[in-house]
Structure 1
Amino acid sequence: MGTTRRVTLNDVAAASGVSRATVSFVLNDDPHQTISAATRTRVREAARQLGYVPHGVARALREGASRVVVINIDAGMEGNYSRSFVGGLDSELGLHGHVLLVRHGHRTAEASRQVLDAITPRAVLNFGEAFLTGRELDDLGGGWRDGLAAHAALQIRHLVDRGHSRIALALPDADTPLATARLRFADETARSLGAAPLLSFVVPRPRAAGTVAVRAFRAAHPEVTAVAAFNDDVALRALTAVQDLGLSVPDDIAVMGFDDTEYGELMTPALTTVHIDAEAHGRLAARLALGLDPGGLSPVPARIIARDSA
């Protein structure tokens, strides 16, 4: 029985009327090449119609355990940190001839079993696993050096440095071990800096519910002058609620985000936040998953994006 010939870059180039190099640049999304949007669309459409599969992906699916790494990302953990982590993980795996399969959101045991049976991956990673198993100081960044503890501390320190001694941590309406770890690290930082123990409260969806929650918290704790949010999403809910109550940010209460999504910059006032580049964390995870020496990879320190809200 004959076998179906694999579609190549040359086939895509011929179908789209461009060079093989142009096809490669488009399909690899090379940022250093200036290629028109029309050409990019034409190349991608030709690749889709021909059923082109990059050679590395095809090889990974054929070889199963030796070439595929799976990462699971739970709902509520998506953001700039997870995107940069996955980017580093994917790039490093690619350097070593492996491909990455990313699974987002809730997963049933049956669905997970079907995936594992179908591709027999080299490794299965759970994003933020250290935080989900109580080993949050074992993260690849070293916890207080450049991991979650250090990032949480950076947020609280920024607010304390601006004169806030009564700070609350605004949490999402989904209870996660990650939120528990953040609260513990943030509270430890506040105490070490001489601030009062942190209070915490949930800012739920939708907008009206968030406003009710913030009103109730403000009534019970008028001494709080700053809110450190679990992430930018929660921060924007809190900021909107404060404004709905007729209060001013940051004059009446400061609001600070975490993880630097693009939406914070678009608000008025623009959101102060913590930016974390996790590419090196992702690369380290890839090397460990493949049993390689982690080498001299150093995570980039997190930094404050100072805007108008805090």
Structure 2
Amino acid sequence: MGTSRRVTLNDVAAASGVSRATVSFVLNDDPHQTISAATRDRVKEAARTLGYVPHGVARALREGTSRVVVLNIDAGTEGAYSRGYLHGLDTELAAHDHVLLVRHGRHTAQSTQQVLDAIAPRAVIRFGETYLTGHVLDDLGGGWRGGLAAHTALQLRHLVDHGHTRIALALPDTGSPLAEARLRFTGDAARGLGIPAPVPFVAPRPRSACADAVAALLSRAPQVTAIAGFNDDVALRVLTALRDLGRRVPVDTAVIGFDDNGYGEHVVPSLTTIDVDGEAHGRLSARLALGLDTSALEPRPARVVARESV
């Protein structure tokens, strides 16, 4: 018994009396094409009657999965690194004929299952999953060789190399799910460097509130001579707070950021920070998700962007 032939765009075009291009414009809802409502209705009706299935969906039915990779990003993990990671992930997936779907915010098991049921993605990636689950890998995708733990240690080591042993860690007020991991890695790095564990405190977004928080920190821990920021956004708040408090940077208190967001070089004093190759990490994740060889992809090591604040 023969198999039925898949309905094509040409079939829909013949049935609706329009060109193949017009059918494509209608079914893809192209906003740049002026097509009458009557024609649109006729094309959609012909597609329904013939049972037209878009090629991507048909391929998903044959392969068992679609050519979609889903990335879940928890609220509070967005930043310069995640933007670079997204770009690399999207570019690498596109090079292998896959599409990236990004889901922001909180994701429940039920909502994730709905996505699985609806589009049968090739893979589902959770941004920063190894850190959010408390697992640390000794490789480029994980912690101490080329991941967040190593980058945290690099930030702390730069301060120690400049004579600072009493350090504070400024955290965001957004409840980032990565804050706990950074606290843990900072403590581990401090032990490795032979210095006391940095004093954590929250640096709120409002200017006056951040100044109050920094003043309270320096009051209860006057021995602190340097502050490491959770990221550049937080470090820039601290820089402003110290200026508002009349403290000189770096003479009285040094400040270092993390995840170079590009704004640190435009402030006075300019912000020293840590730059991470997020794009290469995104490409690496794409290849891992697709089961491809990763030997040719090795992200460059994180580096200190030395400016005036340390």
Give the alignment's TM-score, normalised by structure 1.
Answer: 0.78
**Structure 1 partner of 2:12:** 3
Q: 1:3 to 1:140 in 2, by over 3 A?
A: farther
1:137 & 1:303 partners in 2: Cα distance?
A: 20
**1:87, 1:279 within 8 Å by CA — same for their partners in 2?**
yes
Identity in percent: 60
2:201 & 2:250 partners in 1: Cα distance?
A: 19
**2:84, 2:277 within 8 Å by CA — same for their partners in 1?**
yes
1:63 & 1:227 partners in 2: Cα distance?
A: 53
**1:75, 1:106 within 8 Å by CA — same for their partners in 2?**
yes
**Structure 2 partner of 1:269:** 269
**Structure 2 partner of 1:50:** 33
**2:82, 2:278 within 8 Å by CA — same for their partners in 1?**
yes
**Structure 2 partner of 1:93:** 93
Q: What SS does the corresponding residue of 1:165 show, helix, strand or coil?
A: coil
1:139 & 1:73 partners in 2: Cα distance?
A: 22
Stretch moving more, 84-93 or 149-158? 84-93
Give the alignment's TM-score, normalised by structure 2.
Answer: 0.78
2:96 & 2:215 partners in 1: Cα distance?
A: 53
Deviation per CA, 1:4-27, whole angstroms, max 9, x where unpaired? 66659xx9xxxxxxxxxxxxxxxx
**Structure 2 partner of 1:155:** 155
Aligned-pair CA distance for 1:162: 0.6
1:137 & 1:181 partners in 2: Cα distance?
A: 13
Deviation per CA, 1:43-86, whole angstroms, max 9, x where unpaired? xxxx74139xxxxxx75466442310010112221122112212
Letter in 1 for 2:261: T
Q: Where in structure 2 are the equivalents of 1:217-232 lying within 5 Å?
A: 217-232=217-232
Letter in 1 for 2:104: H
**Structure 2 partner of 1:141:** 141
Deviation per CA, 1:173-206, whole angstroms, max 9, x where unpaired? 2344422221222222222223222111111122
2:80 & 2:109 partners in 1: Cα distance?
A: 27
**1:225, 1:253 within 8 Å by CA — same for their partners in 2?**
yes
CA RMSD of aligned residues (A): 2.6
Q: Where in structure 2 are the equivalents of 1:1-310 lying within 5 Å?
A: 3=12, 7=21, 48-50=31-33, 60=56, 63-64=59-60, 65-107=65-107, 111-137=111-137, 140-310=140-310
2:118 & 2:283 partners in 1: Cα distance?
A: 26
Aligned-pair CA distance for 1:107: 4.1
Aligned-pair CA distance for 1:108: 5.5
Aligned-pair CA distance for 1:229: 0.7
Larger radius of gyration between Structure 1 and Structure 2: 2
| Structure 1 gap ranges (5+) | 12-46, 52-57
2:139 & 2:193 partners in 1: Cα distance?
A: 24
Stretch moving more, 74-83 or 115-124? 115-124
Aligned-pair CA distance for 1:128: 0.3
Q: 1:62 to 1:213 in 2, by over 3 A?
A: farther
**1:60, 1:98 within 8 Å by CA — same for their partners in 2?**
no
| Structure 2 gap ranges (5+) | 1-6, 14-18, 35-53
Aligned-pair CA distance for 1:109: 5.6
**2:136, 2:142 within 8 Å by CA — same for their partners in 1?**
no
